[in-house]
Structure 1
């Protein structure tokens, strides 16, 4: 296939015949474009595009050349300005050099004048040098004298230096001592703080102890009051009063009695309490002490009060007071009670005391009488056998005799009397009070 044929086919392929319909209002017109017409239009378009590209490229080329010219012009202007600046700097430096040369000229003139003056001074110094030689000899002598004085001063300085060294050693010793003293002071301050802390704790413990003491004192006082009340109740049960059985340990005696009254005395020293609560505690302790003394005295007298039973086994055969006499049947006063039991029943002391009579006593038959102190006595009559003698000390429930029927008696029994200041009282009250006391003691022992 020839090239012309291929060109023709490409032309037909790219530029086939085309019809363009143009509508205007209600009419439609037809425009036919052949392949050559299309080729012509395409050629015109290509030429127009090529011309536009060429014009644009040429314009860009011109712009580049113009920019290069402007840059070259800017550089030339910059070089010109730098050249102007250099010329200005050279002119300034030339002015400075000219000024310096003028100053140098003036200095040379001044130096010439000074040279003349120096020459005059040299001549003057030459004349003075001769005088100085003479002065030098005199100064040499003075120097020798000064050297001697300096040697003496050096000796003094050496002595002062030695003393300074000694003082330095002493100062170091003092510093060592001061350091030790400061350490000891710090330790003392630490101990002081510790002691203050311990003192605070001790004060707190003292306050706690005061509280505990108050509570204990209160409990002791309450216990003492309760016990005193119980013991006074026991005495009331016997018919005795506290004043009848309790007497002071030492009572002043009237003149001529032969007994020495107890004396007290001594210098007055005011009590100073170390703690604010000490005085209150001492007053409370004194009050409790008085109550305890009263309790001890009362308890001691209760112990010596005949509250025990004369025998372990008995029955009441005759009461205290008015009765018909068992022998003659007449009304009579019975100064004790008759406690009947089997023959030879053991008879016991009803309280501690001292035997003041043991033997035959008329209508009592064989009798034992015991003194319990403070005007209290007990008698045991109609005994079968007496087991103690006068002067013996007996204890509570101590065996003193055997039950019998001696003297004015109708059968085996013990006639039991209680006398208060030689006045007979009802022994049954003492026995009943004893039942109360011994029962409480047994209950207390059981609780413990």
Structure 2
């Protein structure tokens, strides 16, 4: 059975691949090689496999070439997009800086207006107190005069009655003198009364004018206070949101900054008004609230310089990899790709704790900041700082490179809070709306 099947297969192969002979001729003899059907089948199958493999390999190479071209084109488009976006961000940053300068000018103008208002309020308060004192003196004098006039009238009435009872008795010189004296005193009292009434009317008119002036001044102060309060609200809310978006508690942050900046004095000191045992002045309370908000903005500014809200690459770049799992491993930072030698800047004030080679990181710089924050800058081509050096926000610390485990020139940027890595884009996005 096996033999018959083999013979049938051989006969079928003979039809497709008949037996052939390959003659090899030399000067002295002629030889031939017999090519069986099975040999031809193996050769044909091998040729088909080789041709198919060649076609597939060529197709793969063509697809890779086309894909690489598309990738380069897409990379160029992405680079153009990022450059346009960076230009827009730079323009927006310039606008924010101009707005900050304008706000600072408005702030200085507001401080001057507050100083002027304080002087005017104190002068008005003194005038009001002098007026009240004068009114009290006038009223006391008027009361005394009225009492003296009433007593004089009673004396005149008594003398008149006594004169009427003794009409038959001639008035002696003393009685006549007394009557003249009383008449003169009564006339003087009446004149004093008229003068006091005139002075009182003038004082009342002056008090009315002072009250009107004081009311207008209070309305003006209220308008200025409202503008300042709105400006403080607009200025504080973005800063407060920036720190909250970065996962930082603004109240704890302010308290920590205050511990390092606890000196007293200056234009932001609260205003002290004497209440003379009465209720606090509402204007003083509003002014102190504004000064408190200004002090909070100043503390926020100090904290923002010490926290990494800036971006480490200010030249043209593109994001190539973000924070999170990548190829089965945790990517602890954000990658910024650019040419070798691109300047790298510190994202906050701090102290350099490491500047050297670190296995897969290559040339690595570590900077310790306030609030338990550390930033890392890896794969550098050059380092411009040394361990122990104090750096400022925006200061150049090195240049972009390709050292360590790296597939191309880029910056690997990390932020660690309390020793644990966090997403750097959280801080960059939080500070983008403010700086």
- The normalised TM-score by structure 1 is 0.44
TM-score, normalization by structure 2: 0.46
Q: Which has the higher contact order (CA 8 A, sep 6+)?
A: 2
